[in-house]
Amino acid sequence: MTADDLLARHRAVLPSWMPLYYAEPLELVSGEGRRVTDAQGRTYLDFFGGVLTNMIGYDIPEIREAVERQLRTGIVHTSTLYLIRQQVELAEKVARLSGIPDPRVFFTNSGTEANEAALLMATNHRRSHQVLAVRNSYHGRSYAAMGVTGNRGWSASPLNPLRVAWLHSGERLRGLLARLPEADRVDAAVEDLREVLATQTAGDVACLIAEPIQGVGGFVYGPDGLFAAWKKVLDEHGILLVSDEVQTGWGRTGEHFWGYQAHGVTPDLLTFAKGIGNGFAVAGVVGRADVVESVPAISFSTFGGNPVSTAAGNAVLDYLLDHDLQANAARVGAILAEGLRAAVGDLPEVAEVRGKGLMLGVEFVRPGTGEPDAALATRVFEACRAGGLLAGKGGLHGNVLRMGPPLTLTEDEAREGLAILVDAIRTAAAEAVAR
């Protein structure tokens, strides 16, 4: 069967609103370490890891063996009506690592469901369906998760069980607050929060949900300390803080284990997904016991915390901690970030090289105007693939190249990927000038 056949079959049976990457879509058929091979036998260095999800890499013996051990017991599924040893063990680890005192953990199958559960807990705890969210956010595809998603391209329905008021993100490049000097942006974001509370709510707001670094939004973020400054105001009103760590968790940012730690504040609820399963479906919420326990009826997830997925989760977390991958993310991420800044940071087409650890973005603009250049981002993205590197795209305007490689990325692989990136960016930018 050729890849074209598969593409035609895909298009015939799967919905068009579920996009495929690349003008000629890829079928990845095998993987090892940080490399994947397509159906034509071509191997790529993977700097996107299935959207930051293959956090340890491909074909990791420790994870494969943990899953195989569980499969050999004959028990793939029991439901949460029975004790699940792997689930309890993973909950204990997540609770210990969360930074939240004496928390409870609820497992789900996706980041969407994790956020949905967090919103269920917060709205019940506060007996209010009023919620604050941040512009340019992405929290998932259910009605409530979409309802707190501030990105038109990912908002497929206006139906919303919540009443949402929107805050500015305080990011450097876009939005009203970007006009302000760095030093003034936290104060301005706090002023915005106070104004939103006073003008767009009816009091008794349940929570603020925010990503420490906006993932789908193009890896943009407000100044360090912003969450703490927001929380001071939230605390005056008893409003809870939910940190969506679906992309920023598990040491990816290098400097911290969780994104929220850059802000000197502890959230009331934290949601996690993606990397913890290294491809197996594990996600969940960890949070203050009194908030988690506010759910007033049975809330049951058939597959959430399933024996196989939590066996994978335990193996992933053990591997991550045993190999101190947070430190690796800081070290190897710095090679990439510094290399990109030095080689392409001054190009007029590059508005910003940004990010933390192994969560890095390059934003493309039309020179001299600051206008987003999505076409250039796409050309760079395709050129990376042609050079043997998989990256991601994103941003409100689709003009950001995103890198979120496995946290096991080596220094040599970082340099190899950097060379491909730099070449792709320089070539595509030069072609843009020539056009």
Q: Would you count residue 140 as binding ligand PLP (CB under 6 A)?
A: yes
Amino acid 269 reads: L
Among 138, 219, 227, 260, binds ligand PLP (CB under 6 A): 138
By beta-carbon proximity to ligand PLP, the closer residue of 134 and 343 is 134
Binding-residue pattern over the window 74 to 113 for ligand PLP, x denoting contact by CB under 6 A: ------------------------------------xxx-
Selected binder of ligand PLP within 86, 98, 115, 123 (CB under 6 A): 115
Is 273 an interacting residue with respect to ligand PLP (CB under 6 A)? yes
Report yes or no: 130 and 204 within 8 Å, Cβ to Cβ.
yes
Which residue has the closest beta carbon to ligand PLP?
111
Q: Which is nearer to ligand PLP, 111 or 417 (CB)?
A: 111
Give, to the nearest 10 degrees, the angle between helix 411-434 and helix 374-387.
Answer: 130
Task: Tell the smallest beta-carbon distance from residue 326 to ligand PLP (Å).
Answer: 19
Give the residue, chosen from 34, 129, 139, 231, that forms a contact with ligand PLP under the rule CB under 6 A: 139
Cβ proximity to ligand PLP, 242 vs 337, nearer residue = 242
Nearer to ligand PLP, 57 or 217 (CB): 217
- Measured from the CB atom, is 201 or 310 closer to ligand PLP? 310
The 30-69 site mask, x for binding ligand PLP (CB under 6 A), equals ---------------------x------------------
Applying CB under 6 A, which part among 133-141, 151-159, 253-261, 427-435 lies near ligand PLP?
133-141
Contact 37, 30 (CB under 8 A): yes
Q: Is 309 in the site for ligand PLP (CB under 6 A)?
A: no
Kindly state the smallest distance separating residue 142's Cβ from ligand PLP, in Å: 8
Stretch that binds ligand PLP, among 7-15, 135-143, 154-162, 384-392 (CB under 6 A): 135-143
Q: Nearest approach, Cβ of 309 to ligand PLP (angstroms)?
A: 13
Number of residues counted as binding ligand PLP (CB under 6 A): 16
Quote the least distance from Cβ 114 to ligand PLP, whole Å.
7
Interface with ligand PLP, residue 390, by CB under 6 A: no
Contact 278, 93 (CB under 8 A): no
| Contact flag: residue 246 with ligand PLP (CB under 6 A) | yes
Q: Which stretch binds ligand PLP (CB under 6 A): 56-64, 211-219, 224-232, 301-309?
A: 211-219
Find the part of the chain contacting ligand PLP (CB under 6 A) among 121-129, 244-252, 321-329, 392-400: 244-252
Q: Which of 124, 201, 247, 261 binds ligand PLP (CB under 6 A)?
A: 247
- Nearest distance in Å: CB 380, ligand PLP: 21
Which residues, in sequence order, are CB contacts of 141 under 8 Å at separation 6+? 112, 154, 156
**Block residue for tokens 């969780």:** 258
Interface residues with ligand PLP (CB under 6 A)? 51, 110-112, 115, 138-140, 211, 215-216, 244, 246-247, 273, 283
